[in-house]
Amino acid sequence: MATVELTKDNFNDTLTENDFVLIDFWASWCGPCKQFAPVYEKAAEENPDLVFAKVDTEDQQELAASFDIQSIPTLMVVRDKTVIYAQPGALPKDSLDDLIKQARELDMEEVRQEIAKQEADGSAS
């Protein structure tokens, strides 16, 4: 499956309608972004059951700002409408493959319980 271009108009629908979305925040002038693009495209081809999306931070400044994107490329992984990974930097293919494998294996019920616990601890202090 080819990558999907995300905009503020289709962002929420894409995350709501899909259980597993990888998002590459990038810009055309960014050297590391250009290096990461073929790695990301290859992973999209190898994982057709997942949604691979891209956000052009130049065209979608509002979207990038809403996620406080400070440096690019930034890769974000969203499962069940929950951000489970968000880190800047171009990953080599092996690292991206490993990240996808780990994200697939996550027990999302455990993740939700941990988030709820952290939120409860935060509001108690």
Mark whether 76 is an active-site residue: no
pTM: 0.91
Could you report the average pLDDT of every consecutive run of 10 residues in the chain (125 residues)?
Answer: 88 94 96 96 96 96 93 95 93 96 92 87 71
Strand ranges (E), 3-104 = 4-5, 20-26, 51-56, 74-79, 82-88
Quote the CA–CA distance of 33 and 92 in Å, as a whole number.
Answer: 12
Return all residues near 101 (Cβ < 8 A) that are at least 6 apart: none
Mark whether 30 is an active-site residue: yes
Set 6, 30, 69, 75: catalytic member:
30
pLDDT at residue 73 in the model = 97
Set 6, 21, 22, 33: catalytic member:
33
φ, ψ dihedrals at 29, nearest 5°: -85, -5
Residue 107 gets which letter from DSSP? -
